[in-house]
């Protein structure tokens, strides 16, 4: 899942849950001297009253100044409200159109698929489907839905709703970037490409309200994990119909007053660039297990601001942590620091449709001129490891043999072969980066490395999340920093990004050989043979270099001691229904 950023934290005014108002002084009356609270005569002497007020006022000022205000985190413990830093202002809450990881963090609170993913194992567990079975040939799967599954408006959630939702995803008019995750379904790719128009031919059939039969193009053993992805989530077709064409993007159906979901929470408030609030959904099939009453997601532009918010008791969880603060927390407050494994690749994305990156030699030269060890030492400081392949190591038993070394001499030769000896003749390159903790600092290291070793001039363009993502989606960039988090634990979630027709291939690169490798792997049931095909695909990817790997991530963040049930997650996502707050 692509990453995102943007937005600044600021508590909303007048919010009683956050207790942003000063404490009521009258609550401290018991601490005043008894004489000052004695009743006055029916006809008081004005001078006496004034003198008494003069004596009382200093006590009131003192008490008001000394009273300890309840922090939002403390108030959340009392009200069951989890306060979460989420880095980015949400771009999209329609689960079938989500392209950013930070939006997915919210979507899993509002919606639920046939399956969910267990945090520790990354394996599928029952969601809307209470059980499922596959045929011996692996081509037919039958999912049995819970009788108690409902939409947040009280309607029953049926197998027919899933079928309608998947037909919507695959409609070319919707142009869903993640539609390719449904391609294991029979005829899905042809329908999405417009080569077929009869959606009844899709390999998804509701046998009755509670029984869903899926027919596949090819065996897909990780199908249950796929159904835990937002693009597979159901959307309520009747709620969509209220707002016009179901295939129209940016529909009003995702506003708080309109959104109908099926997850453990419902959308209660969305104040742009301030906060997004979800509240417990009483219609959820497992509502009895949900212990939080609310979750408030805060978009925070700066990791430094978010860290200060944590220390001030403004949030229970941060999205990340400035690497400059890692050593301090390890030394002074290790209980608050979490360093979790994270299935994440950070890389450079080249726009191969724009010179000079139409030439693979230039792209490869810049990739060879990335000193990944220097970046890990000066920028990451333990919050990541150098990446010399694109796919993270030991991904479902796959570790790439292909590797990109740091070789400045080879990089200089390639540049000269391409007609740019010593960097002469190359235009000044603009590197667009997300305005987050790592990308601008990595870009500064690259700027110095490339200038010194290659004679290449690089300018930096930090952007907010919305512009950064849109520019990559529309190829409105030359060179960009990028990140990808695995949707499930399998190399295909990284390598199928670069299929020429893929909705998330934002490089402009197309290779018939690469497409053939990915298609061949999809049709290969033997795990070892499948991994070997991926090896060939990754060799080609790194040689052609539409991307340059930089580092693999580790998720460093802060967590309040009152947060329970927050398990380490390789994919970074959590089942909020398992999370609760308890006094330490």
Q: Which of 44-53, 210-219, 459-468 has the lowest mean pLDDT?
A: 44-53
Rounded CA gap, 286 and 547, in Å?
A: 43
Instruction: Write the DSSP assignment of 18-85 as a string of letters.
Output: TT-SPPPGGGGGGGS-GGGGSPPPSS--HHHHHHHHHHHHHHHHHHHHHSPPPPHHHHHHHHTEEEEE
Distance of CA 373 to the CA centre of its chain: 27
Domain boundaries, the chain: 1-18+71-111+263-318+559-584, 25-68, 114-249, 342-556
Rounded CA gap, 255 and 94, in Å?
A: 10
Q: Above 60 in pLDDT, residue 173? A: yes
Helix (H) or strand (E) holding 552: strand 547-558
**What's the whole-number average pLDDT of the chain?**
89
- Which CATH number is 342-556 given? 3.10.105.10
pLDDT digits (tens, 9 = 90+) for 295-349: 999 999 788 999 999 999 999 999 999 888 999 999 999 999 999 999 999 999 9
Closest to 472 in 3D by CA, of 359, 345, 351, 358: 351
Percent of the chain residues past pLDDT 70, beyond the cut: 89
In this prediction, residue 440 carries a pLDDT of: 87
In this prediction, residue 151 carries a pLDDT of: 98
In this prediction, residue 437 carries a pLDDT of: 73
User: Which DSSP state fits 325?
Assistant: G
pTM of the model as a whole:
0.83
pLDDT band at 2, cuts 50/70/90?
Answer: low
pLDDT digits (tens, 9 = 90+) for 496-532: 999 998 889 999 999 999 999 999 999 898 999 999 9
Where is pLDDT greater, at 478 or 438? 478
**Mean pLDDT, residues 457-462:** 95
Closest to 65 in 3D by CA, of 57, 55, 73, 74: 57
Reduce the DSSP state of residue 253 to 3 states and report it: helix
Question: Could you identify the residue written with the tokens 């999912």?
Answer: 143
**215, 186 in Cβ contact below 8 A?**
yes
In this prediction, residue 232 carries a pLDDT of: 98
Reduce the DSSP state of residue 279 to 3 states and report it: strand
How many CB atoms are closer than 10 A to CB 584? Answer: 9
The CATH superfamily holding the domain 114-249 is: Dipeptide-binding Protein; Domain 1 (3.90.76.10)
pLDDT band at 380, cuts 50/70/90?
Answer: confident
In this prediction, residue 434 carries a pLDDT of: 85
In this prediction, residue 25 carries a pLDDT of: 25
In this prediction, residue 464 carries a pLDDT of: 85
pLDDT digits (tens, 9 = 90+) for 18-67: 323 322 222 332 332 333 333 333 444 544 434 444 444 444 444 444 55
In this prediction, residue 342 carries a pLDDT of: 93
Instruction: Write the DSSP assignment of 428-468 as a string of letters.
Output: PEEEEEESSSSHHHHHHHHHHHHHHHH---EEEEEE-HHHH
Rounded CA gap, 219 and 559, in Å?
A: 41
Q: Which of 76-85, 202-211, 243-252 has the lowest mean pLDDT?
A: 243-252
Structure-token pair, residue 439: 């990308």
pLDDT digits (tens, 9 = 90+) for 234-292: 999 999 999 988 888 888 999 999 999 999 999 999 999 999 999 999 999 999 999 99
pLDDT digits (tens, 9 = 90+) for 269-282: 999 999 999 999 99
Tell me the CATH architecture of domain 1-18+71-111+263-318+559-584.
3-Layer(aba) Sandwich (3.40)
pLDDT digits (tens, 9 = 90+) for 121-170: 999 999 999 999 999 999 999 999 999 999 999 999 999 999 999 999 99
In this prediction, residue 323 carries a pLDDT of: 86
Q: Above 50 in pLDDT, residue 223? A: yes
């Amino acid at each position: 899942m692509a990453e995102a950023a943007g937005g600044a934290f600021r508590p909303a005014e007048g919010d009683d849950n956050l207790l942003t108002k000063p404490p009521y002084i009258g609550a401290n009356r018991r601490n005043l001297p008894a004489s000052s609270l004695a009743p006055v005569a029916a006809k008081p002497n004005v001078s006496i009253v004034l003198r008494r007020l003069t004596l009382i006022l200093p006590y009131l000022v003192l008490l008001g100044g000394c009273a300890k205000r309840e922090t939002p985190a403390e108030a959340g413990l009392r009200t069951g409200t989890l306060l979460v830093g989420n880095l980015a202002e949400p771009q999209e809450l329609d689960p079938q159109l989500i392209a950013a990881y930070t939006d997915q963090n919210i979507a899993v609170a509002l919606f639920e698929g046939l399956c969910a993913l267990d945090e520790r194992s990354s394996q599928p567990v029952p969601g809307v489907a209470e059980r499922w079975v596959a045929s011996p040939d692996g081509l037919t799967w039958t999912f049995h839905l819970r009788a108690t599954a409902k939409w947040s408006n009280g309607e029953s959630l049926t197998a027919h709703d899933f079928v309608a939702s998947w037909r919507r995803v695959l409609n070319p008019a919707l142009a869903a970037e993640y539609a390719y995750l449904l391609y294991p379904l029979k005829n899905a790719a042809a329908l999405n490409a417009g080569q077929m128009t009869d959606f009844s031919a899709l390999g998804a059939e509701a046998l009755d309200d509670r029984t869903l039969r899926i027919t596949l193009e090819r065996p897909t053993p990780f199908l249950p994990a796929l159904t835990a992805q937002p693009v597979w989530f159901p959307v309520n077709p009747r709620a969509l119909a209220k707002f016009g064409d179901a295939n129209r993007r940016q529909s009003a159906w995702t506003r708080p007053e309109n959104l109908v979901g099926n997850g453990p929470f419902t959308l209660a408030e969305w104040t742009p660039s301030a906060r997004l609030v979800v509240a417990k959904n009483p219609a959820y099939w497992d509502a009895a297990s949900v212990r939080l009453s609310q979750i408030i997601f805060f978009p925070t532009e700066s990791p430094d601001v978010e860290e200060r918010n944590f220390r001030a008791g403004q949030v229970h969880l941060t999205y990340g942590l400035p690497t400059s603060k890692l050593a301090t927390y390890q030394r002074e407050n290790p209980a608050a620091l979490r360093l979790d494994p994270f299935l994440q690749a950070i890389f450079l994305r080249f726009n191969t449709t724009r010179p000079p990156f139409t030439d693979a030699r230039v792209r490869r030269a810049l990739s060879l001129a990335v000193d990944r060890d220097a970046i890990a030492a000066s920028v990451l400081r333990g919050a990541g490891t150098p990446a010399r392949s694109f796919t993270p190591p030991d991904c479902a038993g796959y570790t790439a043999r292909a590797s990109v070394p740091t070789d400045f001499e080879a990089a200089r030769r390639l540049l000269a072969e391409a007609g740019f000896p010593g960097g002469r003749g190359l235009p000044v390159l603009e590197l667009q980066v997300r305005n987050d903790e790592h990308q601008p600092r990595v870009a500064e290291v690259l700027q110095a490395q490339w200038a010194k070793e290659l004679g290449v001039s690089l300018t930096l363009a930090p952007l907010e999340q919305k512009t950064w993502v849109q520019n990559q989606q529309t190829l409105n960039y030359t060179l960009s920093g990028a990140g990808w988090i695995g949707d499930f634990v399998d190399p295909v979630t990284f390598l199928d990004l670069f299929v020429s027709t893929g909705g998330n291939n934002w490089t402009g690169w197309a290779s018939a050989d690469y497409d053939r490798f990915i298609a061949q792997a999809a049709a290969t049931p033997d795990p070892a043979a499948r991994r070997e095909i991926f090896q060939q695909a990754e060799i080609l990817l790194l040689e052609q270099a539409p991307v340059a790997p930089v580092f693999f991530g580790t998720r460093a963040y802060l967590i309040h001691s009152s947060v329970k049930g927050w398990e380490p997650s390789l994919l970074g996502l959590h089942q909020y229904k398992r999370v609760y707050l308890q006094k330490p």
